[in-house]
Every structure is written in C-alpha cells, then in structure tokens.
Amino acid sequence: MSSAPRQKPPQRPENLHGGGSSAVVAANHTLTRFAPMAHSTVSADLRRSLLEAIGNLSSVVGYTAFDAGVFLDADRHFQFALWCADSAGSWDLRASSLADMARRSAFVGDADSALSLIELAQVRSDRLAFTVRAMLSAMRAQYLAALGRADEVVAEVERADELFAVRTPDADSPWMCFYDKAEHLGSTGKALALAAEARNSIGVAAPRLRYAIDTHGSEYPRSRAFSQIRLAALTMKLGDPREAAALGMEAVKHSRALRSARNATELRGLAAVASTHRRITEVGELRALILATNSDEPS
C-alpha cells in the first residue's frame, strides 16, 4: 500500500508580501496562543512534535519581524525557537534557528558573528538532512565573502552544490520546503558575487542568479526580487550598465508589492552602486526611481 503524498506546507504571507506590520501582528497573535503549549505534560513523542511545531512557528514570527526591521522582536523569537529545538532534540530545527540568527547578524553588518553562528549550526552535521547542510554551506560561503575571504568562497559553494545534489526532499522537515534549486542557486549566486568581482568575471555568479530569477515559484516574489537586485548590482559593476538598469527596473517593479525593510535596503545598495554610472540616462532613471521609492535614501 503506497503512502499518502506529502502535503506542501501552506504559503507564508511574509514570503508573498514581506514582513509588514500586519503580518507581524498576525504572526505574533498566533504564537501567543500556542507558545504556552511548549510546557504541556505529554508523551515524549508528542512533546517532540509539539516543540518542533511551536519552534517552527516562532521562527516564522521571528523572520517576519526581521524582514520588517523589528530586530529585538526577531531576536527574542529566534532564541525561543532555538530553545524549542534544543528541548525537542531536533537538530534540523536547531540548525535552521541558528541560520535565522546568522542572517540577522549579517544583515546588520556583523559577518563575523554570522559566520560563528553558521559554524555552530554545522556541529554534528551528520545528524542534519542534506538539504539543511547545503543551505548552511551556501550561507557560510556568503559570510566568508563578506569577510573578504574570497579565495575560500568557491570551494565552499562547491561543497554546497555536492550536498544539494544528494538531498532527499521527501525526507526534509516541512520548514525546509523553501530551499529548492532556485533558492540554492540564488543563495550561492549571492556568495559568488564577491568572487566574481575579485576575478573581474561576471560569469562566476550571474548564471546562478539568472536561474533563480527565472525559476522561483510565484509564492516567493521576495526571493526573486532579491536575486534581481543582486544581478543588477553585479551587472552594474562588471557588465553593461544599461542592461543593469533594465534588471534594476524589473526589481523595483516586483518590489512594489513587498513591505520588506530588507528589500528596501538592498534597493538602496543598488542605487549606491548605480551612482558611478548615473550620467547614463537609463541608470539615472533607475537611481531616481529607487530614491523616490525609498525616501530616506540620501541624494
């Protein structure tokens, strides 16, 4: 008798619209209802499942707050998710919670702490699903790049690719459903962007970012927008500025429906990169549009 097909987890609103205030409030309300159940007296098997579910929910709430720029709330929820993972003995949830903390540290410019958190998540990697291990290696490559260790980035990306190639998605925890090929190539493409600059070769990273843009599912518009912004910035530095401007315009278009502090920050970074070529009409128009959309961007 065949087993029932695995159900796909429901779409998360913050993936579709970003971590805007309404998403934060709704997610917090849900977590407030269920968090006390973490202290319920139940059987060991049920307790593990319960703690994993509550910990995953806390991670969702934390990531929503992080995307909205509410960092203290994000930190609190990530810490609770980690406590749930440790209490449940869930290595995959532990790794995912530490990965969320690393993303938050990297976003505020603390790549050293981000790298430490990722390497902590990789402890006893033999207990982690291959998809989780691939994600952690891709993230480690990003933080090595941010720390200027470009020579190590390519090797780490190769390791991530090897792990991704042998993954078994049907065995993954539900919260890892987002980490498909598009997400993997977008994540590793982000890491390789610095290596591309060091080698003055856009081809080191651009094909991965392009694949991610073309294949991200409709439920992940924020991830697609990130890859568009990163490819536009890389093309602005190493390729044709007019092509970069066209990519950037697409990124701005797809970002309009998102309420994401992280997305807005990345767009401002693209505007800064574009300033070198601002006398080119198309680039100047892109920069002006970003500045108008993000009113706190300096002129």
Residue 286 · residue 252 · CB < 8 Å = yes
CA distance 275 to 266: 14
CA distance 202 to 214: 18
Helix (H) or strand (E) holding 107: helix 91-107
Which residues, including other chains, have CB under 8 Å from residue 20's CB and lie 6 or more apart? Answer: 68, 259, 260
**In this structure, CATH architecture of domain 92-203:** Alpha Horseshoe (1.25)
Residue 175 · residue 93 · CB < 8 Å = yes
H-state helical runs in 11-70: 13-17, 21-34, 44-68
CA distance 272 to 112: 24
pLDDT in tens, 235-266: 999 999 999 999 999 999 989 888 889 999 99
**Torsion angle of C-alpha atoms 80, 84, 86, 88, degrees rounded to 10:** 180
pLDDT in tens, 188-233: 999 999 889 988 999 999 999 999 999 998 889 999 999 999 999 9
The alpha carbon of 283 is separated from its chain's Cα centroid by a whole number of angstroms, namely 27
Question: How does the average pLDDT of the chain come out, rounded?
Answer: 87
pLDDT in tens, 91-130: 999 999 999 999 999 999 999 999 999 999 999 999 999 9
Residue 128 · residue 99 · CB < 8 Å = no
Tallying the residues shown for the chain, one arrives at 299
Two structure tokens written together for 271: 């505007």
For the question of whether the overall pTM of this predicted structure is more than 0.95, the answer is no
HSE (side-chain half, CA atoms, 13 Å) at 261:
16
Give pLDDT, residue 294: 73
